[in-house]
Amino acid sequence: MSATPELIKINIDGRDIAVPRGTNVIEASRLLGIDVPHYCYHPKLPVVGNCRMCLVEMGLPAVDPATKTPVIDPATGRQKINWMPRPQIGCGTNAIPGLHIRTTTQMVKDARAGVMEFLLINHPLDCPICDQAGECKLQEQATSYGRGYSRYIEDKNVKPKRTQLGPRVMLDDERCILCSRCVRFSKEVAKDDVLGFIDRGSYSTLTCYPGKELANNYSLNTVDICPVGALTSTDFRFKMRVWFLKQTNSIDTESSVGANTVVWSREGQIYRITPRRNDEVNDTWMSDSGRDLYKQVRAENRLSSPAPLADLIAQAKALLASGGVALVASARSTVAEQYLAKKIADHLKIPADSRHVPAHLAKGDGLLISADRTPNTRGALVTGLIDTLPSEKLTQLAAGIDAGKIKTVLVINEDLSLHGLAPEQLARVDIIHIGTHASATSAAAKVVIPSHTVFEKNGTFINQQFRLQQFNAAVPGHVGTHNDATILSGLLAALGGHDFEGKSNAIWSRLTEETPELAGLAHGNIPETGHLIDAARFSHHAFPETEGLHYKPAK
């Protein structure tokens, strides 16, 4: 994206608009609220122009070939427009000065109806069993631009209906309209060029390269971008119709990229997760592994407790009163939760060397999964919970336990056994565990307070770009669990600190007052694409992330 795009004036359906040079007609029309139907075009993929659905009429101002002077139409007194005798594809037509476009003429309508009719000739029309029904471009555009009936009376082509392209993607070739979005995605974005077309004409078939399969961690994006029901997710296949599903904006928690997502749920049950377009973070993609995270909501090892929250907090308070407390907070908690953890630590006068946030590190894939496998490490820095980058091994805590200095550990959403603590060390201290799933830590804990997953609560994360992003609760909390902010603010109040009464806006307003980077940010009013905060204070840290989509390390 160039820094200062040159704006040029074009005219669509009689309305003038200034667009950057090179913008194609589909995008320019979208700015005017004009829908140019298309299948193969995708804003984040190369243009190929093979579906022919986006045909529009195109014209340019007439210029006298000899004198290069504008030709004036005597009827209107304005410059004459030379319209091309045949329609042009919108996706492949880029804006040049004076470009004129018509999208509503009879020629355009006939062209669209003709394309629709051809596309539907071999379409099986099995919408009742097709998972795409309800979000299918073919359905929508057949309704809007099709002729409503078919003149085709011959037998339809028969193609393979159930081809397993990869472990997570199923192909129904009869539905495929050969738009090649999936082929381009695999090649250009996922850099895993395994898909292609074989055979000719109406027998063309999408297939994998012999001996390969579509198994990369971004394969389900092909399902998202497939405009029809040809590619379906084996996980979501035949589970639920999309029109029943409620969409909730969320954040992918598997790494510090913070890919924007939409959680699709019905009646408290999540059925799938799809990417949400954010051109600054994840474009329109997300990883396959991030789509599986919803399963943790109803996982077998989910913690829950019938005890009232007040009782659990009272038990925790009793343990904390004995002194020698260490805090293990999490980079998986929201900004507000980290702030509350810091407040509790301040209140208990836990020294800085007893406040830990363990790191989860792995190799980044250079795209949408970064090396830091927590969504909110920067949040811990911004709220002041920690001053230095976290390390994976909690050696200091282990030493403190061995030395007998630490008697009680408050663990929030972490499993100490993954961070270098032996079972004997866990057994030696009183552990208060606030967490979602059972682990060695929760098994060793004296008090377990079950909390919510990211799908059950509202909150914010700060990603690797120092972008503050908001997510919302998609489903109500699992039975026997409590909101993390409620637990922590309740604990803070029980210990004699400020009582936020579990109110997120009260927590947020105090947080923004005390945090310079967040000052003035209204609660619950963060833009959908996130809010980039000032990272100057933290530029000295050597963050582990390597280059990925829309992210370059500072050095």
* b/e map 366-405, b = 16+ CB within 10 Å: ebbbbbbbbbbbbbbbbbebbeebbeeebeebbebbeeee
Cβ closest to other proteins, residue 168 vs residue 356: 168
- Closest by CA to 265, choosing from 278, 276, 250, 252, is 250
Q: How far apart are the first and last CA of the chain?
A: 21
- Minimum Å gap between C-beta 123 and other proteins is 13
DSSP state, residue 293 = G
- Minimum Å gap between C-beta 55 and other proteins is 31
- Minimum Å gap between C-beta 126 and other proteins is 8
**What is Dmax (Cα atoms) for the chain?**
97
- Minimum Å gap between C-beta 238 and other proteins is 5
- Closest by CA to 244, choosing from 133, 103, 402, 114, is 133
- Minimum Å gap between C-beta 277 and other proteins is 27
Q: What share of the chain is helix, strand, coil (3-state, %, to 5)?
A: 30, 20, 50
Binding site for other proteins (CB under 8 A): 124, 127-129, 133, 155-156, 158-162, 203, 205, 237-241, 243-244
Would you tell me how many other CB atoms lie within 10 Å of the CB of residue 338?
A: 30
Segment (H or E) for 347: helix 335-348
Would you tell me how many other CB atoms lie within 10 Å of the CB of residue 100?
A: 18
Rounded Cα–Cα distance for residues 313 and 292 (Å): 32
Rounded Cα–Cα distance for residues 321 and 348 (Å): 9
Cβ closest to other proteins, residue 129 vs residue 554: 129
Cβ closest to other proteins, residue 209 vs residue 244: 244
Cβ closest to other proteins, residue 127 vs residue 314: 127
- Minimum Å gap between C-beta 183 and other proteins is 19
Rounded Cα–Cα distance for residues 176 and 205 (Å): 8
Cβ closest to other proteins, residue 133 vs residue 506: 133
**Would you say 334 and 455 are in contact if contact means Cβ atoms under 8 Å apart?**
no
- Minimum Å gap between C-beta 124 and other proteins is 8
Cβ closest to other proteins, residue 152 vs residue 238: 238
- Minimum Å gap between C-beta 128 and other proteins is 4
Cβ closest to other proteins, residue 204 vs residue 304: 204
- Token output for 26: 């589909």
- Minimum Å gap between C-beta 199 and other proteins is 9
Cβ closest to other proteins, residue 124 vs residue 544: 124
- Minimum Å gap between C-beta 553 and other proteins is 46
Cβ closest to other proteins, residue 209 vs residue 238: 238
Cβ closest to other proteins, residue 271 vs residue 455: 271
Rounded Cα–Cα distance for residues 115 and 96 (Å): 27
Give a three-class secondary structure readout of 468-484. Answer: EEEECCCCCCCCCCECH
Would you tell me how many other CB atoms lie within 10 Å of the CB of residue 80?
A: 16
3-state secondary structure of 192: coil
